[in-house]
Amino acid sequence: MLLITCPYCGPRCESEFSNGGEAHIERPKDPASLTDAEWAEFVFLRDNPKGLVLERWNHAQGCRRWFNVARDSVTYEILAVYPMGSPPPALEPRRYV
Protein backbone atom coordinates (compact mmCIF):
# COMPACT_ATOMS: atom_id res chain seq x y z
CA MET A 1 0.00 0.00 0.00
CA LEU A 2 1.33 3.41 -0.95
CA LEU A 3 1.45 6.35 1.42
CA ILE A 4 0.64 9.30 -0.82
CA THR A 5 1.18 12.85 0.34
CA CYS A 6 -1.82 14.84 -0.82
CA PRO A 7 -0.59 18.40 -1.41
CA TYR A 8 -3.59 19.64 0.59
CA CYS A 9 -4.34 17.02 3.28
CA GLY A 10 -0.91 15.54 3.94
CA PRO A 11 0.14 11.87 3.95
CA ARG A 12 -2.80 9.52 3.48
CA CYS A 13 -3.39 5.88 2.65
CA GLU A 14 -3.52 4.88 -1.00
CA SER A 15 -7.07 3.56 -0.58
CA GLU A 16 -8.33 7.15 -0.27
CA PHE A 17 -7.05 7.98 -3.76
CA SER A 18 -7.90 7.06 -7.29
CA ASN A 19 -5.39 6.96 -10.10
CA GLY A 20 -6.10 9.15 -13.11
CA GLY A 21 -3.55 7.72 -15.51
CA GLU A 22 -0.66 9.38 -17.25
CA ALA A 23 -0.19 13.10 -16.64
CA HIS A 24 0.68 15.90 -19.06
CA ILE A 25 -1.32 14.63 -22.02
CA GLU A 26 -2.57 17.70 -23.80
CA ARG A 27 -5.81 17.58 -25.72
CA PRO A 28 -5.15 18.45 -29.37
CA LYS A 29 -6.10 22.05 -30.14
CA ASP A 30 -7.93 21.12 -33.31
CA PRO A 31 -9.20 17.53 -33.08
CA ALA A 32 -11.02 17.75 -36.42
CA SER A 33 -7.74 18.09 -38.31
CA LEU A 34 -6.21 14.90 -36.87
CA THR A 35 -5.96 11.62 -38.68
CA ASP A 36 -7.59 8.60 -37.07
CA ALA A 37 -4.17 7.35 -36.05
CA GLU A 38 -3.28 10.63 -34.36
CA TRP A 39 -6.62 10.68 -32.52
CA ALA A 40 -6.14 7.08 -31.42
CA GLU A 41 -2.71 8.03 -30.14
CA PHE A 42 -4.23 10.79 -28.02
CA VAL A 43 -7.17 8.75 -26.74
CA PHE A 44 -5.72 5.31 -26.21
CA LEU A 45 -1.98 5.07 -26.35
CA ARG A 46 0.02 5.62 -23.19
CA ASP A 47 3.65 5.23 -22.33
CA ASN A 48 4.32 2.35 -19.99
CA PRO A 49 7.82 3.02 -18.81
CA LYS A 50 9.79 0.88 -16.42
CA GLY A 51 11.06 3.54 -14.05
CA LEU A 52 9.93 7.14 -13.72
CA VAL A 53 6.21 7.66 -14.38
CA LEU A 54 4.24 10.89 -14.12
CA GLU A 55 0.64 10.28 -13.09
CA ARG A 56 -2.49 12.14 -12.12
CA TRP A 57 -4.11 11.20 -8.82
CA ASN A 58 -7.35 12.29 -7.22
CA HIS A 59 -7.86 12.35 -3.46
CA ALA A 60 -11.29 10.82 -4.02
CA GLN A 61 -12.20 10.03 -0.41
CA GLY A 62 -10.53 13.12 1.01
CA CYS A 63 -10.48 16.65 -0.35
CA ARG A 64 -11.43 15.45 -3.89
CA ARG A 65 -8.64 17.51 -5.50
CA TRP A 66 -6.47 16.42 -8.41
CA PHE A 67 -2.68 16.56 -8.36
CA ASN A 68 0.33 15.00 -10.06
CA VAL A 69 2.66 12.34 -8.69
CA ALA A 70 6.07 11.29 -9.99
CA ARG A 71 6.57 7.64 -9.11
CA ASP A 72 8.98 4.83 -9.81
CA SER A 73 6.99 2.02 -11.41
CA VAL A 74 9.49 -0.60 -10.23
CA THR A 75 10.06 0.30 -6.59
CA TYR A 76 6.76 2.22 -6.21
CA GLU A 77 8.75 4.97 -4.53
CA ILE A 78 6.99 8.32 -4.75
CA LEU A 79 9.56 10.83 -5.98
CA ALA A 80 7.54 14.04 -6.07
CA VAL A 81 4.04 15.43 -5.65
CA TYR A 82 3.16 18.61 -7.50
CA PRO A 83 0.00 20.55 -8.32
CA MET A 84 -2.05 20.31 -11.49
CA GLY A 85 -0.94 22.72 -14.17
CA SER A 86 2.67 22.90 -13.12
CA PRO A 87 5.47 21.30 -15.12
CA PRO A 88 7.07 18.13 -13.75
CA PRO A 89 10.04 18.65 -11.46
CA ALA A 90 13.49 17.84 -12.82
CA LEU A 91 14.08 14.22 -11.86
CA GLU A 92 16.75 11.78 -12.88
CA PRO A 93 15.29 9.17 -15.21
CA ARG A 94 15.55 5.76 -13.61
CA ARG A 95 17.06 2.96 -15.62
CA TYR A 96 16.28 -0.69 -15.09
CA VAL A 97 17.61 -3.06 -17.72
Partner 1 sequence: MVENYLRQSALAHLGLEGRAATDEAEAPVRLHERVLPAAVNLRGDSDDPGFLEAVKLAAGLDLPLAPNTTRGDERRAALWLGPDEWLLLHHDAEPDAESRLAAKLREALAGRHSAVTEVGESLACIRVAGPRAADVIAKGCPLDLHPSVFGGAGRCAQSHLAKTAVTLHQVSHEPAFDVYTRRSFSDYLWRWLSDAAREYAEA
Nearer to partner 1 by Cβ, of 27 and 64: the residue is 64
DSSP annotation of 80: E
Residue 9 Cβ, how far from partner 1 at the closest point, in Å?
6
Measured distance CA(24)–CA(27) in Å, rounded: 9
String of b and e for 41-75 (b: at least 16 CB within 10 Å)?
eeeeeeeeeeebbbbbbbbeebeeebbbbbbbeee
Residue 62 Cβ, how far from partner 1 at the closest point, in Å?
5
Contact residues toward partner 1 (CB under 8 A) are: 8-10, 12-13, 15-16, 61-65
Nearer to partner 1 by Cβ, of 83 and 89: the residue is 83
Residue 29 Cβ, how far from partner 1 at the closest point, in Å?
27
